[in-house]
Structure 1
Amino acid sequence: MPDSEAPKQSQLSPALIRVDASESIGIGHVMRCLALAGALKDHGEPVTFLCAQCPAALVDSLKHRGFAVEFLPPAMKPGSEADARFTAERARRLDRNKIDGDGARPIVIIDGYHFFEDYQVILDQYPLRVAFMDDLHHCKRYYTDIVINQNPSARAENYPNTAAKTKLLLGAPMILIRGEFLDHRRKQARREQPARARKILVTMGGADIDNVTSKVMGGLSQIEDLEVTVLIGGGNTHLADIQKLADALNNAHTRSRFTCLQNASDMAAVIDDCDLVVSAGGTTVWEAAYLGAPTAVIITADNQVEGMEYFAAAGATALLGRQEKLSEADIACALAPLLDSQEIRKSLAQKAAVIDGQGARRVLDTIASIVVPAT
C-alpha cells in the first residue's frame, strides 16, 4: 500500500490492547500504545484497553479519550497462560459480525515484558491479528503477526528467530506520535530558538518512582534566570514533595521560577512553548523531537538505554546519563552549555527531525494487510 494511502476502514477491525501500568512499571507502555489506539479510533474502530493494573488517573484519561478500559480477574497472574486465554477470548467477542463476516479479524496489541513465548503461542491459536510492541527484544522467539520496535536503533538482526509470518516494523519510521501532536504541528509553526534558553520543561515520566524530578529541579535551581515548568504525571506519588520543593525554590530564588503542572491537558502546547525539554528517555523524547523542541535526556530505566544512546550518538538529543549516577551539580553543569548555545539547540532539533509522524499509519497499513484464515 503506498505511503500516501490510508488503510481502508473495512481492512481494520476492533482492537484490544493488553498492557499494564503501575508505580513500579511506569505508564510508558500505555503511553506508546495511545498513538496506535488513537489512529484506530480515527478510522472508526473501537479500542479496549485490558489491564491487570492501571492507576485510576490514567484509567480516567483513557476513558476521557473515548477508549474502554477493562481489567483481568483479580487473581489472574499477568503474563500467565490464563491471562493469554482470557485476552484472546475477550478479543474474539469485540465484534462478532466482522469475525464471522469479512475476515477482518480482531486486532490484539500486547505491550509488556511479561508476555513471553508461551503467551504468544496461545494467542496464535486464535483467529486474531496480533502485534507485539517491543523495545528490549527480550523473547527468544516471536510468534506474533507483527513486532513493532520504534527505537531508532532497532534492526532485523535483533530478531533472528521469528515465525515465518512475522513482519518486523523497526526503527524511526515506526515511531508512534499521538494525534494531538500531529494536529498541533499542522496548525503551529515551530517558534525560533532564542539566543539563551530560559523556558525549560522538566518531565520525568508518568510515575517517576525515584523522584528524579526533584533532583533535576535542584540542578536547575543552580542556574539563574529560568522559567521552569515541572510536569507531574498521574502516576507520580511525589506530588506533595515536588510542590513543596518548588515553593521553597521560588522563595529562595528571585530570578528563576518553578511552576508545577499535573496531568497537562495539552502536552503538545506545553512542549511547544519551551526552549528545552529535560526528559526521561521515553515517549516524550519522540514527541518533542517531532515538534522540533531540543531535548536533554536522563535515563531512568534500563529499557531506555539502547534507544537513547543511539539517538544521542546521532546528535539528536543531549544524553546527560543515568539518573542514579547524576548529582544536582552534574545536571547543572551539563545543562548550562545547552542553555547558552542557540546553535547546539538548533542542531539537536534538526538532527531529531527523522521522526515524520507517520509511524502509526505505517503500522495500520501492515495490520490491514494481514489476512487470517477462517477456522
Structure 2
Amino acid sequence: MNVFIRVDASIDIGIGHVMRCLALAGRLSKQGNIVSFICREHNGHLCDFIEINGYKVLRLPASQVNFKIPNYTKHSKWLGVPLSVDATQTKKLLRKGFVDLLIVDHYAINEVWEGSLREISNKILVIDDLADRKHDCDFLIDQNYFEDYPSRYHSLVPPHCKTFLGPSYVLLRDEFYDQWSEQKIRSGYVKRILIFFGGIDQTNETGKALATFLKMGRSDIQVDVVVGRSNFYNTELTSICKQYDFLHFYCQVNNIAELMCQADLSIGAGGTTTLERCFLSLPSIVWSVADNQVEICKTLGRKKIIKYLGEKETLEQTFLTQQLENLIGNEVERNEMSRLSYLLMKDNIVNQQTMIKEIVRLDE
C-alpha cells in the first residue's frame, strides 16, 4: 500500500505534528506499507530529520511570494500559501503514482483541500485536535482528552467516516511501547525530575522551570533537561546546566521515553507530550504554551491526572515555586496522578492494533 503523509513543521507550527505522524508511519511500515512524507520547507522544517528516520520526503518549496492567504481556518497562514495553491502543488507531486492512503495532519487544511485530492487518493485519513472545521475523509484520529470527545466530530465528517477518538488512540513512537514494561505507578521520594517543553520552546519555558527548581536549593534531586535542536536558548541552557553536577542537559534525544521512565516527576507543556507522560504513568506539572493545549490541559487537570498551572502568559514564578514544592513533598498526590494516568492509557496498545487493522483494510 502506498501511503503519503501531508504534514509540516516550522517555528510557528512546532514539531508535534511531525512526531506523531512518524509514530503512525512506523505502525504502517511494520505492516509492509510504503510510507512517504509531503512537507513544505518552512523555517524550522523537519524534512532532513524525517529522512534520517528512513522515509522519503517530497518537498514543497518555502513561499517566495507574499501571498494574501484567505482565512479558511484560524491557522490558514501556517500553510505559507493559499489552500488552493498547496492542493495544486501537492497533486503535482503525487501525479507520479497512485495514492492508496493520504494522511493529513495540518490545522490549515479542511474539506476543500481534501476533496480536491480525492481524484488521486483511494482513502483519506485526517489527524486533528481542534474540531473547528469540516473534513472530507474516511478516517479521523483525535487522540486528545476532552469532556465531549465522543461527539466532537458528529457534524464535521461524512457519515461513512470511521473515527478514533480519545487518548487510548494516541500515536506513540516505538520507544514508548519498548518502555511499557518499565512503566510503574510512582511512589516514594522524588529523586529525579524531567524538564521538557518540546522541540522549539520559543518563550523559554524550559529556562523558567529550571530557574524555579534552582531557587529551591534541592541539590539532592537529579534533573534531566531536554530540548530540541531548534531551541533558541540552547547555548544559555547548556551554560546553566554545566554549573551544577545534578543537572543533565540533552539536545534532540531519541530516548525521551527512557528518560520519562527514569523520572519521578516531570515539568512540561501540554499537547501530545502530556499523553506520552501519562502512558508511562509519570506525574506531571503542566502549563499550556499554545491555544490548542488549553482545553485538553484543563480537562486532565480537573480529573487530577496532571497538575495544570494555567497558560504560560499568566503563570507567576511564586505560584510555580509553591506548586512544585508542594508536589515534591506530597507522595500521596503524586501516586494518585500516576495511577490515574495508567488507567487513562491502559487500553492504548490494544486500541492501536485495532485502529491500524481498520485503516489498512482499504478494500472495504
**By the TM > 0.5 criterion, same fold?**
yes
Out of 174, 199, 203, which is 1:179 matched to? 174
**Does 1:216 find its partner at 2:209?**
yes
**Does 1:332 find its partner at 2:324?**
no
**Match of 2:246, as an amino acid?**
R
Distance apart, 1:220 and its partner CA: 1.1
In structure 2, C-alpha distance between the alignment counterparts of 1:89 and 1:302, rounded to whole Å: 33
In structure 1, C-alpha distance between the alignment counterparts of 2:46 and 2:154, rounded to whole Å: 32
Residue in 1 aligned with 2:224?
A: 229
Percent identity of equivalent pairs:
28
In structure 2, C-alpha distance between the alignment counterparts of 1:121 and 1:302, rounded to whole Å: 28
**Match of 2:61, as an amino acid?**
P
Residue in 2 aligned with 1:19?
A: 7
Residue in 2 aligned with 1:150?
A: 143
Map Cα deviations across residues 246-273 of structure 1 (whole Å, 9 max, x no partner).
345x3xxxxx832211011211111111
Residue in 2 aligned with 1:283?
A: 272
Structure number with the bigger relative contact order (C-alpha 8 A, sep ≥ 6) is 1
What secondary structure does 2:215 align onto? coil
What secondary structure does 1:279 align onto? strand
Structure 2, unmatched stretches of 5+, are 65-79
Q: What TM-score results when the alignment is normalised by the length of structure 2?
A: 0.86
Out of 322, 337, 342, which is 1:348 matched to? 337
8 Å contact from structure 2 (residues 186, 338) kept in 1: no
Map Cα deviations across residues 138-177 of structure 1 (whole Å, 9 max, x no partner).
21x2211112111121232444232232222211221112
In structure 2, C-alpha distance between the alignment counterparts of 1:164 and 1:89, rounded to whole Å: 29
Map Cα deviations across residues 275-333 of structure 1 (whole Å, 9 max, x no partner).
11111112221112111211221100011112221122222111121111113322111
In structure 2, C-alpha distance between the alignment counterparts of 1:159 and 1:218, rounded to whole Å: 45
In structure 2, C-alpha distance between the alignment counterparts of 1:174 and 1:243, rounded to whole Å: 36
Quickly say closer, same or farther: Cα 1:147–1:219, change in 2 above 3 A. same
Misfit runs of 4+, over 6 Å: none
1:298-309 superposed matches below 5 A: 298-309=287-298
**Match of 1:361, as an amino acid?**
Q
1:1-375 superposed matches below 5 A: 13-53=1-41, 58-75=46-63, 77-78=80-81, 80-91=83-94, 93-94=96-97, 99=98, 106-139=100-133, 141-153=134-146, 154-186=149-181, 188=182, 190=183, 193-223=186-216, 224=218, 225-247=220-242, 250=244, 257-353=246-342, 354-355=344-345, 356-358=347-349, 359-371=351-363
8 Å contact from structure 2 (residues 200, 228) kept in 1: yes
In structure 1, C-alpha distance between the alignment counterparts of 2:46 and 2:138, rounded to whole Å: 28
Residue in 1 aligned with 2:74?
A: none
In structure 2, C-alpha distance between the alignment counterparts of 1:310 and 1:147, rounded to whole Å: 21
Quickly say closer, same or farther: Cα 1:137–1:192, change in 2 above 3 A. closer
8 Å contact from structure 1 (residues 58, 234) kept in 2: no
In structure 2, C-alpha distance between the alignment counterparts of 1:87 and 1:362, rounded to whole Å: 30
**Match of 2:8, as an amino acid?**
D
**Match of 1:357, as an amino acid?**
N
Quickly say closer, same or farther: Cα 1:267–1:123, change in 2 above 3 A. same
Distance apart, 1:133 and its partner CA: 0.7
Structure 1, unmatched stretches of 5+, are 1-12, 100-104, 251-255
Map Cα deviations across residues 224-264 of structure 1 (whole Å, 9 max, x no partner).
2321111011221211122233345x3xxxxx832211011
In structure 2, C-alpha distance between the alignment counterparts of 1:164 and 1:116, rounded to whole Å: 17
CA RMSD of aligned residues (A): 2.3
**Match of 1:227, as an amino acid?**
Q
In structure 1, C-alpha distance between the alignment counterparts of 2:190 and 2:312, rounded to whole Å: 23
In structure 2, C-alpha distance between the alignment counterparts of 1:312 and 1:151, rounded to whole Å: 13
Deviates more, 1:63-72 or 1:15-24: 63-72
**Match of 1:258, as an amino acid?**
L
Deviates more, 1:332-341 or 1:158-167: 158-167
Quickly say closer, same or farther: Cα 1:147–1:79, change in 2 above 3 A. farther
Deviates more, 1:72-81 or 1:288-297: 72-81
Q: What TM-score results when the alignment is normalised by the length of structure 1?
A: 0.84
8 Å contact from structure 2 (residues 199, 229) kept in 1: yes
Distance apart, 1:115 and its partner CA: 0.3
